[in-house]
A and B are shown apart, each in its own frame.
Chain A
Amino acid sequence: MGVDEALELADRLVCQHTGKHLNDLEREVFLGSWQGQTYEKIYPLNPQYIEKDVGYKLWKKLSAALGEKVTKKNLQGALERARKQYPEGTLLPVCEGIADRIPRIFISHQMQTDDRTLGQSLGDALQSAGYPVTSTATCRAIPNWAIVLRQELEQCDYLILILSTPALMSELVLEELRQVRQIQENRRDRRPVILPIRTADGPSLALNYELRTFLQDYSPWEWRSAEDTPVLLKKLLSGLRSGDWGMGNGEWGNRDGKDINALPITLDLPAALPSPVAEPELPGGQVRLSSAFYIERVPYEAQCYRAILQPGALIRIKAPRQMGKTSLMARILAYAREQGCRTVPLSFQQADASVFSHLNLLLRWFCGRVSRKLKIADRIDEYWSDTYGSKDNCTAYFEDCLLSETDAPLILGLDEVDRVFQYPQIADDFFGLLRAWYEEAGYGDGDSDRWQNLRLIVVHSTEVYIPLNVNQSPFNVGLPIELPEFSPDQVADLANRHGLQWSSSEIRWLMALVGGHPYLVRLALYHIAQKQLTLEELLPVAPTEAGPYDDHLRRHLWNLQQHPELAIAYSKVVNADVPIDLESIPAFKLHSLGLVKMQGNRVVPSLELYRQYFRDRNLLNG
């Protein structure tokens, strides 16, 4: 690859990523570096400036655009790889100016009065300033809101996200952010930009795990009362005009540190809404308030605690979403940490889609995340040589950097590995590597010792529907755990902890509706314990928009509408009075969402709640 071609490619990639071309100085630094010149040679007048400022920013830009760490030293290799990844013709020739278009704005807010009012006043003001604005409220007014909502998210340039206390616990907000991330990855201009406005305060002001994943690169604006509105508007308008967004004036959670991962975890005080997502890590050393509502999944905890201390252990946890997989994983990790192990929770949901385009990128990301979590200096570039294949490099990195530093076992909690199933071209290789490591631990020869210190917890919600080579798949070894829903006794226990002394018939009523679904049971108990409504009142409103499950059900509905093949399959399921046959992949996917129960090879709706809610709805267009 010639230098001109390289520069051209780099420029295009950066332009695609940021919307801006490289400037003259950056081009000079690029050319010089490509030819192996020192900063001194490149710009003798002020090499310091070039190195610390221009160069530094350039490598950062290139790293972001190429999806791997780019330095002055690996520049050539990085671009060679990028060229393989983006062959001629896959990149668009010039980047479109987005500045000259009037940006569209979407305001996402909860339906409570406070949030609506704030959304309304921001919307009105922005609209009168000439910006096209839509909001959650306008979408909800339309019968097929879900489709409109998706369209609005796809078209908008800015997403103003009002994060009130209920919003922090909303599943729909999570779904919105998940889709926005997907849209950003698909759009060349990486829009929409998220502008979070935090109105929440009190004990629930920390973000839950998934929100942290989505929002860690943003800093929020604070809004405390209507007095803050004009200031906020002024900032918004100036940002919209200039396209230059400084940092928000607020912080996530605590005020003294920027590391979100180090923040104290949401305390599940009874006064706070239960979180729809679990924390993968339990706060160490604190009184475990969050355990107050944790129901032991007898006998699985004990089994897993025993298993994880075995050399080279592998535990597979499988259950539909919100069934308590991550909580169980967090507990196993916490237990192992107490026993002196090093633990790393790692969710594949955190990786950008681009990471999955290539095995090499995935393995680098994997090593990088584990190192960072262990606070081990990142030596990936050093280990990633072209001499060996990427699996070899990854293995060497684990052997030399992650497993040999200390004797303490390393436990990886791999959450949401389902994501990898979507990329069959790398799934086989990636899982094959995990399996090979697992096998290595058991050989009892020289290298085994190190690998015995690697222990894996693999968490997934879907059946492994892609054909993986049996001998090369981690899914048919180790301890399998399939988490069931709560039993009546467990529900009774949970009710008790909410201060509710329920009879067995009350338990039965609730379970007739939501089964032993851990999150939905907790949500009901919370509302009842808060005296917001009684069990008798809950049952009729539960499958409606007036009930406490509105947010949960809407998320399912919205999600289904994004996947028409699932929506069609599910509408068959809820409208049938008997178990029905489905093709295996839709059946597995619906099962992983928690929407169906498998009865042999047939399926039924998993909960009466779902049957009632979805039966009356046209799943395809709201």
Chain B
Amino acid sequence: MFFSTHLDPTTERPAQIYKVGGHLPLDSPSYVVRQADRDLYEGLKARDFCYVLNCRQMGKTSLRVRTMHRLQSEGFACAAIDLTRIGSQDITPDQWYAGIMRRLVTSFRLTDQISLPTWLKERDFLPPIQRLSEFVEQILLESISQPIVIFIDEIDSTLSLSFRPDDFFAFIRSCTEYDRLTFALLGVATPSDLIRDKNHTPFNIGRAIELHGFQPEEAQPLVPGLRDQAVDPQAVLLAILDWTGGQPFLTQKLCQMLASSDEFILQGSEADQVAQFVQSHFIDNWEARDEPPHLKTIRDRLLRSGSNTGAMLKLYGQMLEEEGRGQGAEGRRQEAAENCSSLTSFPSHSLISSSPYTPIPADDSPEQIELRLSGLVVKREGILQIYNRIYATVFDAQWVQKGLASLRPDFLQMVFQQEQRLLAILDTMDRREFEDVLYEILGSVSLQLTELMKADRAMISFVDRETNELWAISARHEATRPTKIHILSNQQSASQITIFKQVIPQPHDFSQQSRRVVEEQAGAGYRTITDLTVPLLDEGGDPIAFVQLINKLRPGVNANMLLAERLAPQGFTESDRQQFAEYTPAIQRLIERCQVCYRLTQRLQASEALTEATRSLSEMDLNSEEVIARVMESAKKLMNADRSTLWLIDRHSQELWTRVRFEDGRVQELRLRVGEGYAGRVAETGEPLNIPFDLYDHPYSETAKRTDQTTGYRTCSLLCMPVYSPDGDLLGVTQLVNKRRQGTFPPYDPNQWPEAPECFRASFDSNSQQYMQIFNGQAGIALSNARQMLIAAPKEIPSPSEAIRHALDLIQGLGQRTELDDRDEQSLRMLWQQVELLLRDTQKQDDDDPTKV
């Protein structure tokens, strides 16, 4: 027998002929010579540029070590460059190329011929690739007379450099002109990941070396180690390959574990015993047993790959299902295995029998390529297959389901956290601009979107229907750093408002318009090549926001590359759309809540302004025109009205009166009979009157038209509301004229009368009415106080913290409603009262405590 089985630990035990993880040493007895060994050797010998691009743990490095040794023994001069030893995230191109040259100098023992630092210094003016080229031509080829082969391993590590070494690959291509110099590249990547320029890629002139799993006839070196474990080690090997599909790492590991176990495999029960062994040693509790990591790596590659995860899992799930359907054939094959004698077919093909399932044809879609690079699936004869039974058992349908399910919560969790933060921020609103809040909340969502969807930019545009404004927050994809988020505040250009109104039938229009915004913001030269825009609609089908993803990125890009290099050629795919569709409900909910909160804040701010304005009413002499003017001025500003008037009632004459200050400073008293005109009507009925644009179409507009004709003013909309004392007596009427439209418009020109000017083509909305009601309530108190010269009895003032808590409860209560447009006057009034108390309190504290800011 070849190997002794003494228990003396110093002698080599059978299990030690196997090697699990890392490359096999040259003298390893368990090295399996494969077709690839011959292909690579012959290719290089024929001076062909060769490349081995494959998934991990397939034996690339072992192959390289062997081939290099063989070529060296035949007189080739060889060097191997492991790029992980050179490249790091912070390396510059100069340093990277210098590292390659240094490696060549040491490998070919050129230290006597050249002092590399000096040599490099003399060529400081050259671009790094030129230096390499000159080095190869003047030093390498001059000093070495034999044929030269340079192996470059871990080529995929170029993907994590901060620059794209495209010219390096171009250089390798150009080296075909030297018939003494040949390259071999090895790594886990696709040619198109490595270099995008089709004209300079070496991969279309080189020889691709396919690295397959062990075939039974190749795997003979594995048999000796199993001799002590079985009556028929050959049959055991076949049973092993049946489970591993010939995958080198798993095959070596399974052999090693069997060889070091107490298992003895009887003739005829090879398949059963190996199956049991695999179940108990690989599959049960696999996460804990996966040492050195192999399955975990595949898992991580699938679950942590970012945007492709969903698509990959779905595709893989589909394959599982299909191959499950083929299990009738599998069962038959297993029966055959039990008979053992008939084990003549290729075990690794056992999963793919010609049974009635529909195999998935291999294509080069990103998810297929990703899956193949993970090692989980393999392309065999144009068909995509799960690599082996171990994978199919470990990563089963249940696992796929779990993976898919965990994808969503990730994002949903994050949205949920943002909601929590939103509430928290409201707690401490302390007059922060709402933009800041939006920035914080939606900014991180859009950032996350760029990551998840692998988009260069994501933009959330937020429709504020009250103000006819469109806000946009956009985030940029960057690998490591938090992204700068811009708020395109008040992007209320005419075009954009119309966009959102018309967008439903044609979301495309919106995206075209918003592209411009993004491109402007991103700076010169930025172009939207691909995009995916989804409108978020409320229950009524009106858009509340748009989420737009711009420029789909390739996997493995970094921010330093040019945009063109980073883009995924196929753009956003159907699976992106599906994935995105899973996120939209959560985003929608968050945005709705943001909107609710936004409105709430607006109201809060309005209430505060009102309090400020009306406070002066209670403090000053009512007869002062100054005060009335000031109060009405603030009401006007708040409501964005063009004019405002406070009419007071004169009970004796049944008239309304006011004083109007003209531009020349002249003050004139105006009087109006109760029942006459709009204000008069309000005084008569006690009901508010909100006349939207265009007032001239309103049945009672004759008086207004007549007045306008004499003054040259154009009344377009109007809000007239009564002012009551706390006891319910009518004290007067407030009148706001002409809601001003948002945006920049030419000022009103009286010569155009009676045509309605652009700037007044707007109406007071329900909010304005609400504010005015509050305002008038306050004005009423003040007016009656002033009238009676009474000071309101001091109320019981709650502590500030209580007041805050109460106010916040109210906010929360309001915030939790889905539809806040329900005007809840009571709540609002209470809210406002709380705020007022709060203000009064803080003011008092401020007075008491001079140090307090």
Contact = CB atoms under 8 A, between A and B. Distances in A.
B31 to A, nearest CB: 13
Contact of B89 (A429, A472, A477): A429
A77 to B, nearest CB: 14
Interface in A582-622: 598, 600-601
**Which one of B25, B96, B121, B480 has the highest number of Cβ atoms from chain A below 10 Å of its Cβ?**
B25
Contact of A390 (B88, B117, B294): B88
A391 interface: yes
Given A387-B98, A388-B102, A470-B56, A439 B23 contact: yes
Q: Which 7 A-B pairs have the closest CB atoms?
A: A476-B292, A477-B22, A389-B91, A389-B95, A436-B85, A429-B88, A432-B84
Contacts of A579: none
B288 interface: yes
A475 B296 CA distance: 12
A480 B89 contact: no
A467 B288 contact: no
A444 B72 CA distance: 12
Interface string A152-175: 000000000000000000000000
Nearest to A303: B9
Contact of A471 (B80, B91, B106, B188): B188
Interface stretch (B61-69, B257-265, B447-455, B584-592): B61-69
B685 to A, nearest CB: 61
A299 B291 CA distance: 18
Contact of B82 (A299, A390, A439): A439
Nearest to B24: A442
Contact of B65 (A389, A435, A436, A443): A443
B445 to A, nearest CB: 22
Contacts of A471: 56-57, 61, 84, 154, 188
Contact of B80 (A396, A433, A443, A472): A443
Contacts of B89: 359, 425-426, 428-429
B23 A442 contact: yes
Contacts of B292: 475-477, 480
A561 interface: no
A447 B111 CA distance: 13
Contact of A601 (B68, B88, B287): B287
B26 interface: yes
The CB with the most chain B CB atoms within 10 A, among A464, A469, A478, is that of A469
B109 A444 contact: no
A224 interface: no
A392 interface: yes
Contact of B68 (A299, A399, A445): A445
A490 interface: no
Given A439-B61, A442-B22, A598 B87 contact: no
Contacts of B87: 389, 391
B10 interface: yes
Contacts of A447: 106-107
A441 to B, nearest CB: 9
Interface in A413-453: 425-426, 428-429, 432-433, 435-440, 442-447
Contacts of B99: 388-389, 391-392
Interface string A366-392: 000000000000000000011111111
Contacts of B26: 443-444
B247 interface: no
A446 B109 contact: yes
A467 B299 CA distance: 11
Contact of B304 (A433, A438, A467, A475): A467
Nearest to B10: A306
B182 interface: no
A302 interface: yes
A141 B68 CA distance: 71
B610 to A, nearest CB: 41
A439 B22 contact: yes
Contacts of A482: 291
A343 interface: no
B511 interface: no
Nearest to B479: A425
12 contacts: A359-B89, A387-B117, A395-B85, A432-B84, A433-B84, A436-B85, A442-B65, A443-B23, A445-B68, A467-B304, A470-B57, A472-B154
A467 B65 CA distance: 27
A585 to B, nearest CB: 13
Interface in B505-525: none
B502 interface: no
B563 interface: no
A258 interface: no
A392 B95 CA distance: 9
B82 A389 contact: no
A135 interface: no
Contacts of A391: 85-88, 91, 99
Contact of B90 (A302, A360, A446): A360
A73 interface: no
Interface string B591-614: 000000000000000000000000
Interface in B480-515: 480
A471 B155 CA distance: 11
Contacts of A443: 23, 26, 65, 68, 80
B293 interface: yes
A9 to B, nearest CB: 20
B251 interface: no
Interface of A: 299, 302-303, 306, 358-360, 385-392, 395-396, 399, 425-426, 428-429, 432-433, 435-440, 442-447, 464, 467, 469-472, 475-478, 480, 482, 598, 600-601
Given A443-B65, A476-B297, A600-B287, 14 more contacts: A387-B94, A388-B102, A389-B92, A389-B95, A432-B157, A442-B22, A442-B65, A444-B25, A444-B26, A445-B72, A446-B109, A470-B57, A471-B57, A601-B285
B21 A477 contact: yes
A310 B734 CA distance: 95
A596 to B, nearest CB: 13
Contact of B291 (A306, A439, A480): A480
A471 B55 CA distance: 10
Nearest to A471: B56
Which of A302, A359, A436, A476 has most chain B Cβ within 10 Å?
A476
Contacts of B95: 386-389, 392
A470 B297 contact: yes
Contacts of A302: 9
B300 interface: yes
A188 to B, nearest CB: 23
Most chain-A CB neighbours within 10 Å: which of B21, B25, B90, B106? B90
A477 B80 CA distance: 20
B820 interface: no
Nearest to A438: B22
B88 A389 contact: yes
Contacts of B120: 387
B21 A445 contact: no
Interface in B81-133: 82, 84-92, 94-96, 98-99, 102, 106-107, 109, 116-117, 120-121
B91 A440 contact: no
B86 A389 contact: yes
Contacts of A442: 22-23, 25, 65
A303 B10 CA distance: 10
B82 A440 contact: yes
A421 to B, nearest CB: 14
Contacts of A467: 300, 304
B453 to A, nearest CB: 20
Contact of B21 (A303, A396, A476): A476
Looking at B22, B65, B102, B300, the one whose CB has the most chain A CB atoms below 10 A away is B22
Nearest to A584: B287
Contacts of B23: 439, 442-443
A307 B23 CA distance: 17
Contacts of A399: 106
B447 to A, nearest CB: 18
